[in-house]
Structure 1
Amino acid sequence: MPRSTKKTAPPPSLALTANRILYEDAVLIAVNKPPGFPCHQTHDPKRDHVTAALQRFLQARDGASPKIALQHRLDRDTSGVLLFSKDPSVNPSLNDAFRERRIGKVYLAVVVLRPGQAPPPQRWTIQNFLARDKKNKQRMTAVRGGGDTAITEFQRLSQQGNRLIIEARPKTGRTHQIRVHLAQTGHAILGDTLYGGPEHNRYLLHAWQLCFEHPVSGETITIRAPKPKPFRGGGTGQGPAAS
């Protein structure tokens, strides 16, 4: 009998549409990144990514694609604001702004309380050192020395039953920083099984806002990505939502 061959489904492709453009001017463009796609090319050349999708969108819209440059990164399953430059002349000032922590970032995360578990404080800050986990290179872990300083400010925004929405303001830009810091407090993000979170179809982390000084005009630019349904809290940060 002939050997049966199982066909492998092709990797999904990303088609950016105009409603995904959050901000655009002559030198900058920001998109609302969907979850499930990397920001840039990976080791798998067949895997689509946001940078390529944006180039295709601009080519189709304008008949030509400028030399866009990704200015920061979001993890594959993180959604929200992703900033690109369209003019290489602004790259040095943007790179300096990110390195010097002059870019304000606000994220939203969904966590779930275990039975009997108390919610986190209304506000708290985590400051420690993070390094690659020696036992699992996919993970980051807190270390006493030899790692990179990581600082995140947190605020509990709302609670409905056992589900909470947390605001995170990272003051540094370490890999998996928010995910590690929430897991450290015993409140791993829903779906973030790498750090002990409950099962979900993806981990619920959303890059909601980016605030920075425009590299040309000097004016303050604030870009926000619409909140997906899981991040729209109707309760109160002080306790369970009223029924």
Structure 2
Amino acid sequence: MGRLYSAKMLCKPVAIETGRYMQTVEILAKRGLVGKRLDLAMVEETKGLSRRKAKSLIDDGSVFVNDQRVRIASRQLSFGDRLTFRYVPDNKKKPQPVQISERDILFDQAGVIAINKPVGLPSQETKKGDRFHVVPLVKRFFQTKGRDLEHLALAHRLDKETSGVLLLGETPEIVAHLMDQFREKTIEKTYHALCYGKAQDEFEVRCRLTAINPKNGTVKVSQKSGKDSQTFFTRKEYYQKSGMSLVECRPVTGRSHQLRAHLAKVRNPIAGDKVYGDTHPKLSDELYHLVSQHHYLHARLLKFTLPGQSKKLQVKAPYPKTWQSIIELLRSPLT
């Protein structure tokens, strides 16, 4: 860990799995920083922090001046201002692409494959032409087992940062069978979400949501241009010290970003959601690091039928490692 020049470390660095460290930084505005933009002051006073990263931290609500959150990068500092923020220095090592392994295969029967989609893996090819998305990686895994799944295709999608049960079909007919169940709302879907605030014991959200705006990648509530959406929620656990809740989500409809938008609407945004959520100032460094990695939405369980069968079967996905770590911390009496 490099020296932070005139920035002051407020706590010990927190080691994380990638070998990087969470740093908590405090900068006191003296003569040289008076009148300087917030983002430029952060870059000048913090070794290894790029201006783009500084702007991102400000936009995410991770930067405080005199204990007040500031989201304006052009804000000018005054003499004596105390600037604080936490960040993980960039790892210069090229990140390893996500792969599909044996443990990710939850179900493989009658032409239906269910995987536990890892966090960070796109369901389908992105605009950037990312080669690492679900279908080619699942094909590659089964090729190592001597199976050629030429016509493998997705039956539905999950957001890149959402983990959990994802269904694929080996033929167009099987994919159509699964997609029909989603369209007819006969598939039972259960998600788990870690949210900020104390959620109600039981609640329902109904509203009309727009399609994703291609300019900013978000949906919004709109009575005029939106489509009906509905989700039932149950609070499973509440972690008083951190002010967070574990919520079970049972969506009836399947609009884009539905659960994220619904929980934000009732002021229980999903932890780590940089689009619909907010940075939580009460979190410890350990929790802050985990929350900063991705949003905490997990497709926990699906109930569906196989072709030619009427009895529903159930596929359940265990939590990823980050989920296991954060829940262990949240349940700890010391957190």
Please give the TM-score of this superposition, normalised by the length of structure 1: 0.84
Specify which of 319, 323, 327 is matched with residue 227 of structure 1: 319
Q: Helix, strand or coil for the counterpart of 1:195?
A: coil
Q: Partners in 2 of 1:63 and 1:223 — Cα distance?
A: 22
Q: Secondary structure at the match of 1:142?
A: coil
State which drifts further: 129-138 or 50-59: 129-138
After superposition, the Cα gap between the structure-2 partners of 1:160 and 1:41, relative to the gap in structure 1 and judged at 3 Å, is same
| Cα shift at 1:11 | 6.9
CA distance in 1, matches of 2:99, 2:306: 28
Count of residue pairs the alignment pairs up: 227
Cα distance in 2 between the residues matched to 1:37 and 1:17: 13
In the alignment, what sits opposite 2:58? none
- The structure whose RCO (Cα within 8 Å, separation 6+) is larger is 1
How far is 1:24 from its partner?
0.6
Aligned with residue 180 of structure 1, among 246, 261, 270: 261
Name the CA distance, whole Å, in 2 between partners of 1:43 and 1:133.
15
User: Are 1:11 and 1:47, in contact at CA under 8 Å, matched by a contact in 2?
Assistant: no
Q: Could you tell me which residue of structure 1 aligns to residue 126 of structure 2?
A: 42
Q: SS of 2:315's equivalent? A: strand
Shift of 1:9: 7.3
The 1:44/1:125 distance shift into structure 2, 3 A limit, reads: same
Return the offset for 1:69.
Answer: 1.2
Which stretches in structure 2 are left out of the alignment for 5+ residues? 1-91, 280-290
Correspondences of 1:86-235 after superposition (within 5 Å): 86-113=170-197, 119-132=198-211, 137-161=216-240, 162-198=243-279, 200-228=292-320, 230=323
SS of structure 1 residue aligned to 2:232: strand
Structure 1 residue 133, shift from structure 2 partner = 6.9
Q: 1:57 aligns with which of 126, 132, 141?
A: 141
Q: For 2:214 and 2:175, how far apart are their aligned partners in 1?
A: 36
Compare CA radii of gyration and give the structure with the larger one.
2
Contact 1:71–1:83, Cα closer than 8 Å, also in 2: yes
Code of the aligned partner of 2:134: V
Secondary structure in 2 aligned to 1:194?
Answer: coil
Code of the residue aligned with 2:304 in structure 1: it is F
Structure with bigger helix share is: 2
User: CA, structure 1 residues 242+206, in 2 after alignment: closer, same or farther (shift >3 Å)?
Assistant: closer
Question: Does the C-alpha gap of structure 1 residues 99 and 132 become closer, same or farther in structure 2, counting only changes over 3 Å?
Answer: closer
Identity of aligned residues (%): 32
> Which stretches in structure 1 are left out of the alignment for 5+ residues?
1-7, 114-118, 235-239
Return the letter of the residue paired with 1:68. L
Per-residue deviation, 1:213: 1.8
Letter in 1 for 2:301: Q
